[in-house]
Amino acid sequence: MDFEKVVDFRHACKIFDENKKISKSDLNYILKTTIKSPSSFGIEGWKFLVIQNQDLKEKLKPYCWNQPQITTCSDLIVLLYRKNMTSKDEYVIKSLKRRKYFEKSLQKYAEFIDSRSLSEIKCWSKAQTYIASAYLMLSSASLGIDSCPIEGFEHENIKNLLDFDKQNYDISYMVALGYRLNHPKTLERRDFDELVEFI
Ligand SMILES: Cc1cc2nc3c(=O)[nH]c(=O)nc-3n(C[C@H](O)[C@H](O)[C@H](O)COP(=O)(O)O)c2cc1C
């Protein structure tokens, strides 16, 4: 699909067709292209939980403002971010080891990160998952698959229901994937000149 068509196809889908499931090969394509997203220093401080289990989706829904996307979607992707990505983090070190000049990269990374507080690092790490989520949604759209980004949820309650490495990761947000039930509204955006400034 032409890229602009992909962009125009994507919208925040409010309800999915429960009878349509994403095929395994399409889902793999979406996730494989998603993990090609850029990340700072190439660390890839994220994880993607794929929820297909209907019972679990039903349990999550009340803590997601009862949004119908949660239970009607085919796959609910929960994006996790890595929390303590200091220069001592073994996960960070493993990523940096792929670089030609590991010692130099580690030193540069330490200068970049180690003066920041853990809450600043968390914020920085979480922000990067939004880039991956754009890949996720646009990759889906390129296959004619709909999505809805979902930040409307009770973080701690959702966290309690999900099984993941909570020591090292936390929930960023979610993206529901599936096939639209209804025709979307026309995409509304502010004027180009209001948002884009050439300086
Ligand atoms: C970080 C983020 C969180 C969002 N959370 C929700 C949500 O919880 N529920 C929902 O229906 N839409 C959610 N949206 C979708 C936006 O409301 C939607 O993208 C916006 O209104 C523009 O509509 P469009 O995407 O259809 O063009 C979220 C979008 C973003 C980027």
Percent with pLDDT over 70 in the chain: 99
Strands 169-178 and 75-82: antiparallel
CB-based pocket (< 6 A), ligand 1: 11-12, 14, 67, 148-152, 173, 187
Alpha-carbon distance of 161 to 142, in angstroms, equals 32
State the Cα torsion 61-65-69-70 to the nearest 10°. Answer: -20
The answer to whether 13 and 184 are in contact (CB under 8 A) is yes
Q: Is 191 left (phi over 0), alpha (psi -120 to 50) or beta?
A: beta
pLDDT the model gives residue 84: 93
How far, in Å, is the centroid of ligand 1 from the Cα of 175?
A: 10
The CATH code of the domain at 3-182 is 3.40.109.10
pLDDT the model gives residue 99: 87
How confident is the model over 106-154, as pLDDT tens digits? 999 999 999 999 999 999 999 999 999 999 999 999 999 999 999 999 9
Provide mean pLDDT across the span 144-173.
98
How confident is the model over 80-109, as pLDDT tens digits? 999 999 999 999 999 999 989 999 999 999
Q: Residue whose CA is closest, atom 31 of ligand 1?
A: 149
Provide mean pLDDT across the span 180-190.
95
Q: Indicate if the pLDDT at residue 24 is higher than 80.
A: yes
Q: Indicate if the pLDDT at residue 52 is higher than 80.
A: yes
Of the candidates 91, 149, 153, 87, the one whose C-alpha atom is nearest the C-alpha of residue 121 is 87
The answer to whether 173 and 132 are in contact (CB under 8 A) is no
Residue boundaries of the structural domains of the chain: 3-182
Host H or E run for residue 78: strand 75-82
Alpha-carbon distance of 115 to 86, in angstroms, equals 9
Choose one of 70, 150, 173, 175 to mutate for the ligand 1 pocket test, by most ligand atoms within 8 angstroms of C-beta. 150
Atom of ligand 1 minimally distant from the CA of 11: 26
How far, in Å, is the centroid of ligand 1 from the Cα of 122?
A: 22
Q: Residue whose CA is closest, atom 6 of ligand 1?
A: 150
Directed axis angle between helix 24-34 and helix 118-142, to 10°?
140
